[in-house]
Amino acid sequence: MRLDAAANTLAPALAELRHMGFTVRKQGDSGYLAERPGLVLGGDDVLQLLALAVLSERRGDAACRPSDAEIENLLALEKSAC
């Protein structure tokens, strides 16, 4: 199976966010917010919100604090695309 970020994955992403206890709303002309007690997520679309929700659940406060090894892995991945 292959799954790509596309319009047909937006509705399932929204459903999962709601299942995870988030209230989702559009913020102005662009951007979305997902909120539940103690956590507010912001993103360009509901797929980004779902990714942030998963990061938050799995990594807690470390969701936005990558290790040196994680940064190195990301840089190596980006460099391999050149």
Mean pLDDT per 10-residue interval, the chain, length 82 residues: 94 98 93 97 97 96 94 95 68
For position 42, what pLDDT does the model report?
96
- CA-to-CA separations, 4 to 12, 47, 76, in angstroms, rounded: 13, 11, 22
Tokens 């604090």 locate to 65
What pLDDT was estimated at residue 32? 97
The pTM of the full predicted model, rounded to 2 decimals, is: 0.89
Residue 40, pLDDT score:
97
Taking the C-alpha atoms of residue 46 and residue 34, their distance in angstroms, rounded to an integer, is 8
Angle at 54 between CA 72 and CA 70, to 5 degrees: 10
- Pick from 1, 78, 8, 2: nearest CA to 45: 8
Q: Assess contact for 30 and 44: CB atoms under 8 A.
A: yes
Q: What is the pLDDT of residue 52?
A: 97
What per-residue confidence (pLDDT) applies to 62?
92
pLDDT at position 74 is 96
